[in-house]
Structure 1
Amino acid sequence: MAKLPNRSPAPTDWCTITVIFLIWQNIVIVRPEDDVTLRPAPLRDGCLRFSGGSKGSSFKVALFADLHFGENAWTDWGPQQDFNSVKVMSTVLDVERPDFVVYLGDVITANNLPIHNASLYWDQAISPTRARNIPWASLFGNHDDAPFEWPVDWFSSSGIPQILCPFANASEGDKCSFKGTTRLELMKNEIRHNVLSYTGFGPRNLWPSVSNYVLTIVSPKSDHNLPVMFMYFLDSGGGSYPEVISTIQSEWFRNKSQEVNPDSSIPEIVFWHIPSKAYKKVAKKVAAGRTKCVGSMFEEPVATQEAEMGIMKLLKERPSVKAIFVGHNHGLDWCCPYEKMWLCFARHTGYGGYGTWGRGARILEITDEPFSLKSWIRMENGTLHSEVVLAT
């Protein structure tokens, strides 16, 4: 990878400036309250700080993708898969001890949830991270607010759906309306009940796309808050609306990145759930022997968004964008070079969803002075593979 451009002098408190921009754009970032047990020590201004204060210290992020909690919840099989998924996350968290966790979409399988408050399952999914006092952020996948699909076999024998409503009282019948839980409700419940959540509401003009926001990782030095990296989160749609990153989301990214990182001097990474069409183009180049990648390439075809609406063009034009991370394809965990950045899949973490591939998580390690971005896959059995340097 090319060397980073020289960093221009920065104001002494970038985090404060960033938060002013976030408020101006009507983005709500929920910040943890003071708690000496947190790792890393959270800042009141919404930024994330390295766990160490010395030169060369690192900031580690674990990506949990496609957990699919609540799948087939009316069977014995479903709850067992959720239990297994908790074990995977617990293993990764205990082995890697990350400073931060990203929930990369399809946290729940809403189309399998015949209850209004799917946040009950969302809460189970984030419980291993919360129990270890590790901050996190989440974004939405295509299954998180998908409409409930009635299983045909519920009506084949007795003709009575196998479901128990949460309230027996007839006056509470609306609780059995099966209308599902919207993106806004899921996010509101996560933020309201978790002081460790850094998840943010995006600007209202981007809705129904909701999980669009930016977080800042700041220098481990104690004398100032110089950004080391910006992390952008985008909602790639699906479920209640088409699987796209819209033109207006792309415009939001263009404006936001120009505000917080106008000279592209600070490295940036981007998270969303469903791969862009560029991922499929890269996979074809690999099959033709024109590109070298790291990780599992051909376990299944790349399933992409429905259309490209400008985001990839913007990312290609920004030298500060080092990598994009997605989930969605359970059998893929590769990283491939693309233009001047990397396109990466996470690793399927949950036991819900399709496929029997081994479970694990992608790990990111950001080091300051000198800057580097490294990644690898940590499997459920503790093994590590597919190490790659994404930027230096």
Structure 2
Amino acid sequence: MSKLLKSMAQIRWCMITILVLICCDIAVGRSEDGHHERKIGLVEDGLTLPTDGCLRVGGGGEGSSFKVVLFADLHFGENAWTDWGPKQDVKSVKVMSTILDVEKPDFVVYLGDVITANNLPIHNASFYWDQAISPTRARNIPWASLFGNHDDAPFEWPIDWFSSSGIPQILCPSGNYRGGDKCSFKGTTRLELMKNEIRRNSLSYTGFGPTNLWPSVSNYVLTLVSPKSDHKVPLMFMYFLDSGGGSYPEVISAIQSEWFYNKSQELNPESSVPEIVFWHIPSKAYEKVAKKAAHTRKQCVGSLFEERVAAQEAEMGMMKLLKERPTVKAVFVGHNHGLDWCCPYKKMWLCYARHTGYGGYGSWDRGARILEISDDPFSLKSWIRMENGTLHGEVDLLT
């Protein structure tokens, strides 16, 4: 009898093991576009995966909504060897903390130039990337990030280091860095930054695929689902694209445009679900809109119109695709610190975020763009929340 029980126990254990292996084989991992699959407690290639690729609108009754905060152009790590640089980072943390506490968002998007990579005298720039996302992480809010032109630029030696006073003592951050090389000028690639973010943060919904789009890295899509019915009804698709800069040209490539076309056809073949798009460097369509609105601005909403649009180097088909998709409601970018407007373009809106960080150029007041997506009935609204708590630039992005 004991042998029989032992044999049955062994069989049961084997069956459990097989089921676990099957589930892991089916479930673990990111699809090639970086879309998250919900795998609690499972790890792939050292990366702890978030619980799924869907963001859910809370509630389920009338007026359910999902709020997103956009943090743009933080530039953490700028002039890290001086007293000024770290002080700016502290002030940037304060801006984000204030806005998060006032708005209480469901999700945060880091819209590029999270760090100033060409001014980081350390081997692993993730040290500063971690600082930048810390206010969001501390409040247990999920987030996603994408790259700007400063995020993986090479180190640039400051000319004042070669003055008569000689090269000053470099203040290197403390912490555990594998290999013992915690202070160098090697830089950190886009892929390294993304893998470090995902590996260390279960709340990160950031993606780093597909590999055929590299050196462009932050290309992925997230799905916002409705609280109605079985919680699987898509309410909106959110696309994230790497607009280049730094180690390669400032451009959304033709292959990225093709990826967007194929993915949008796969996910939204009937063009029945609204879509929004995020990247860092504005397309040339932003230049056209700005020139047209330069004198009247009657249709544009915002308070900052204080510099020219610094657009991508070339247009390789992305805007043509967006214009042809009736479901694309808005595009959101950063990059220009003196702009925070939303202007209508064809059947969509082209919007800037608001300069959030104290790093980077310009002395404009800091803030963040807020998005609110509501269900039943569907609506998409936006406004700017300032560091001092004031609100302005409210716009209905469906009009």
Q: TM-score, normalised by structure 1?
A: 0.88
Q: Does 1:236 align with 2:238?
A: no
Query: Aligned partner of 1:105: which letter?
Result: G
Give identity over the alignment, percent.
82
Q: Give the alignment partner of residue 75 of structure 1, picking from 79, 82, 92.
A: 82
Q: How does 1:91-110 map to 2 (within 5 A)?
A: 91-110=98-117
Structure 2 counterpart SS, 1:60: strand
In structure 2, the CA distance between the partners of 1:299 and 1:45, relative to structure 1 (3 Å rule), is same
Q: Give the alignment partner of residue 334 of structure 1, picking from 341, 347, 350.
A: 341
- Give CA deviations for 1:341-372 in whole Å, capped at 9, x if unaligned: 00000000000000000100000000011100
CA distance in 1, matches of 2:37, 2:87: 32
CA distance in 1, matches of 2:132, 2:146: 13
- Alpha-carbon deviation of 1:223? 2.7
Q: Contact (CA 8 Å) 2:50, 2:203: kept in 1 or not?
A: no
**Whose radius of gyration is greater, 1 or 2?**
2
Structure 2 counterpart SS, 1:255: helix
Q: Does 1:254 align with 2:293?
A: no
For these two proteins, the number of residue pairs brought into alignment is 364
Match of 2:320 in 1: 313
- Alpha-carbon deviation of 1:116? 0.9
- Give CA deviations for 1:138-181 in whole Å, capped at 9, x if unaligned: 000000001111111112133234325669xxx96755441100
Unaligned runs of 5+ in 1: 1-18, 35-41
CA distance in 2, matches of 1:338, 1:321: 11
In structure 2, the CA distance between the partners of 1:31 and 1:189, relative to structure 1 (3 Å rule), is farther
Q: Does 1:157 align with 2:180?
A: no
Q: Does 1:287 align with 2:294?
A: yes
Q: Does 1:140 align with 2:116?
A: no
Match of 1:37 in 2: none
Match of 1:193 in 2: 200
Structure 2 counterpart SS, 1:123: helix
The 10-residue stretch of structure 1 (110-119 or 214-223) with the greater mean CA deviation from structure 2:
214-223
Q: Give the alignment partner of residue 372 of structure 2, picking from 361, 365, 368.
A: 365
Match of 2:15 in 1: none
Q: Give the alignment partner of residue 351 of structure 2, picking from 330, 344, 348.
A: 344
Q: How does 1:109-188 map to 2 (within 5 A)?
A: 109-164=116-171, 175-188=182-195
Structure 2 counterpart SS, 1:29: coil
Q: Contact (CA 8 Å) 2:161, 2:168: kept in 1 or not?
A: yes
Unaligned runs of 5+ in 2: 1-25, 42-48
Query: Aligned partner of 1:75: which letter?
Result: T
Structure 2 counterpart SS, 1:273: coil
Structure 2 counterpart SS, 1:366: strand
Q: TM-score, normalised by structure 2?
A: 0.86
Match of 1:301 in 2: 308
- Give CA deviations for 1:289-315 in whole Å, capped at 9, x if unaligned: 376100035311111000000000000
Q: CA RMSD in A?
A: 2.3
CA distance in 1, matches of 2:350, 2:327: 14
Q: Does 1:209 align with 2:216?
A: yes
Q: Contact (CA 8 Å) 1:365, 1:374: kept in 2 or not?
A: yes
Q: Contact (CA 8 Å) 1:31, 1:197: kept in 2 or not?
A: no
